[in-house]
Amino acid sequence: MKRLSDISSSLKGLLVRDSARGASLKGSDLDCGARGARASRSLLPLLAAILLLLAGACTHNGGPSGPLYGRWHLQRIEADNMTAPAQNGEIYWAFQNGMIQMLLDRGGHSVSQTYGAYRLADNTLFLNFSEERYAPFSELGLARQSELQVLKLTGKEFTLLYTPDPTLPDATLTYYLRKW
């Protein structure tokens, strides 16, 4: 059994000064020496590639996702010549890369969400909630496939007009959203 003084002197002996770099190396660094250096050098290109991929996946306002990118808070729905759907909570629309997520926060840790696809073309927002289980919330009055006319779209405000029944063009819903 080694004595404490022997262990202490052994540890002191393991600390080596690398005069070329001016850095201190511990004994464990000496054990794996060149093997550890080769491994860390071979991982460097892999880490760089992963970081580049992640950087390319990030988008921002006005970037590849377009002017809708981000989360929008539904302020109100106005109805003309029809009854407005009842709002039972706070509703948020989030857009990114052709996907839309809608969140309904009823308070008290009760949050529902639904997902669909969107496309913005010629001042028309096309929504497609192809899976029945991800249909838009009834609080919105939207069909699973909907076309909404964009009345206003700025960095902070987004206004949409929806005609649920094309045979009744005067019956419309207007959605007022703010960037959140």
How many structural domains compose the chain?
2
Closest residue by Cα to residue 145 from 162, 155, 130: 130
Per the structure, the complete domain to which residue 49 belongs is given by 4-57
In the chain, what is the straight-line distance between the N-terminal and C-terminal CA atoms, in Å? Answer: 67
- Domain co-membership, 89 together with 159: yes
* Strand-pair category, 16-18 with 172-179: unpaired
Residues 93 and 169 in one domain: yes
Assign 158 to helix, strand or coil. Answer: strand
pTM for this one? 0.64
Confirm whether 28 is domain-assigned.
yes
Q: What is the pLDDT of residues 115-171, one digit of tens each?
A: 999 999 999 999 999 999 999 999 999 999 999 999 999 999 999 999 999 999 999
pLDDT value at 30 more than 50? no
Give the orientation angle of helix 4-14 with respect to helix 27-57, to 10 degrees. 50
**Residue 162: φ, ψ to 5°:** -125, 130
Residue 86, domain member (yes or no): yes
